[in-house]
Chain A
Amino acid sequence: MEWAAQVVNLLQAATVLLLSPLLAGITYRARAWTESRTGPSIFQPYRDLAKYLRKETLLPRFSSRVFVVAPFVAFGAYLLISIVVPVITPYPIPFASTVDFLGGGLLFALAGTVTLLAALDSGSNYAALSASRTVSFAAFAEPTLIIVFFAVAVITGTNNPYVTNNLLAASSAAYLSPTHLLVTAAFFLLLLAETGKLPVESAGLMEFGMLEDGRSFEHSGRLLGLNRWNGWMKQFLLYSVFANVFAMPWGLVATPTVEGALENLVLLVAKLLVVVGVLALVEATVAKVRLFKIQDFLALSFSLAVLAVFAFAVLGVG
């Protein structure tokens, strides 16, 4: 039914939009537990967001319109990604046919680029420092992402995340294939880097990460709120792709109904909690690497992704 597809579409967008702050709250809380703290409420990001949206927005004197427009463009890009990747459905919803994995990657890149431009436009040395650092490391992170897509493409013969999800859920041989295991490991390392987790970045209550966080140094009020929300949406989307496409592709209800989508939503929350748990464990056990060692970390991720494609070529199995 056409209306059901549209409702599922809206439900998926609303899931990403409204649950991403909750996921961030749970992540902060989980991290607090591993540090023997009580931690803030899991709803704290919603309160923060409400506060940001109420507060006055100040603009740097020499900034241009880019500074104001960028958070909105990034917000739009993340919202668009939320209706093209498998979040609560294992089947393509109406907009999903517009992009493949690579298209999704380009949308992430668009959001990242406009955020960088806004950071540079602010004229602040700190924001520019953060922007330049982000770009330096993205030079390694982006090729890794592309190779991950290649590896997925060689497993399934297509570049469509939905096909990947269905194939991996259906075939344990494909799931346990060396290529898939390596590419999952590479994507996990990338996930740590892209969402600002240890050992790459230690942003938190007492510390300002000078990679992702630093780019919003000059933003305030609503623009800062949007930037924060963008970060949370990015985290939610990457976790969802990691859980649904790479690590835990099973269990999604394939019937295209609203009830099926709601069931999948519950399952997604369970999967995301597992991802949060694993990441909290990682953050509790590894130390932050020095800035120039981040390159080594990303090189390892890149090597794993290349090895994934290599394993396919050498061993001849997906």
Chain B
Amino acid sequence: MIALVGVGILLTALYLQAESFVDPQIRAIALQSLLLATLLGWLAWTNRSIDLAIIAALAVGVRAVFIPYVLRRQIRAFRWKVRELRAAHRVTGHALAAVALAIVAWFVFQQTLATVFPEAGAALPFVLLVQGLLMLATRSNTIVQVVGYLEEENAIVYAGALFAQGFPLFIEVVVFLDVLGVVLVGVILSIQRDVTGTPEEASLEELAG
């Protein structure tokens, strides 16, 4: 179960790197969150843990439903055509970079943290975190960057689920609120984008304090 969900999450990460349209990306991050929630739910069931069950429910409600809904609302008028053209020309490069970086991340994990977390699949959250970073580094669309950030947050919750069998509930809830904050910022930036008339970040640089 843990292995299959892990690979599912890895596949969604690869898809996110290779996809250039924004709407499928939002749906993919929703799917990734749903997979994560499945894992959390399963762990909650096997450990009989109420905390984990609450976090699983939060993951479904906030990450798989609410945030994707808010993000999709941002592009509602042009849902079928909003895409990042630069990414569309670099599908091969992005996919191969994602795979290469995953391997590098795994080696780094083996050299540093593998002795502390010897469980099978323990490297996956670390790999996912690096994939989120790669998305933030390679993409310039605001919504896609929020998706990349969500991927990183998913990695943190994933790590919590695997290693600590859930952090204390308070910390997990803070992570969820953190994501909501980012989405809020993303939404504000998107509204600014509508005012400035371009989805690229270059025009928003003048807003930098």
Interface of A with B (CB < 8 Å)?
A: 176-178, 181-182, 293, 295-296, 299-300, 302-304, 306-307, 310-311, 313-317
Contacts and interface: CB of A to CB of B under 8 A. Distances in A.
Nearest to B109: A314
B39 interface: no
A314 B121 contact: yes
B99 A178 contact: no
B37 to A, nearest CB: 19
Sort A-B residue pairs by CB-CB distance and give the 8 closest, nearest first: A178-B7, A299-B92, A296-B91, A316-B120, A315-B3, A315-B121, A303-B99, A303-B95
B18 A313 contact: no
Interface string B14-45: 10001000000000000000000000000000
Interface of B is mostly: helix
Given A296-B91, A314-B106, A315-B121, A178 B3 contact: yes
Nearest to A178: B7
Contact of A300 (B6, B95, B106): B95
B6 A315 contact: yes
B91 A299 contact: yes
B106 A313 contact: yes
26 contacts: A178-B3, A293-B91, A296-B18, A296-B92, A299-B91, A299-B92, A299-B95, A300-B95, A303-B18, A303-B98, A304-B14, A307-B10, A307-B14, A307-B102, A310-B10, A310-B102, A310-B103, A310-B106, A311-B10, A313-B106, A314-B120, A315-B3, A315-B7, A315-B124, A316-B121, A317-B120
Interface residues of B, number: 22
A296 B124 contact: no
B123 interface: yes
B185 interface: no
Contacts of A311: 3, 6-7, 10
B96 interface: yes
Interface string B101-128: 0110010000000000000110110010
B7 A182 contact: yes
A280 to B, nearest CB: 25
Contact of B11 (A176, A307, A313): A307
B11 to A, nearest CB: 7
A306 B11 CA distance: 12
Contacts of B103: 306, 310
A295 B120 contact: no
Interface of B: 3-4, 6-7, 10-11, 14, 18, 91-92, 95-96, 98-99, 102-103, 106, 120-121, 123-124, 127
Nearest to B124: A314
Contacts of B6: 178, 311, 314-315
A307 B127 CA distance: 12
A314 B127 contact: yes
A303 B123 CA distance: 18
Contact of B92 (A176, A295, A315): A295
Contact of A306 (B91, B99, B120, B124): B99
For B11, B92, B124, the residue with the greatest tally of chain A CB atoms inside 10 Å of its CB is B92
Nearest to B127: A314
A317 B124 CA distance: 14
Given A314-B106, A314-B121, A316-B120, A303 B96 contact: yes
A311 B98 CA distance: 14
Nearest to B122: A314
A304 B18 CA distance: 12
Given A299-B91, A314-B127, A307 B3 contact: no
A295 B91 CA distance: 9
Contacts of B102: 307, 310
Contacts of A302: 96, 99
Contacts of A181: 7
Given A293-B91, A296-B92, A307-B11, 8 more contacts: A177-B3, A178-B4, A181-B7, A299-B95, A306-B99, A310-B102, A311-B10, A315-B3
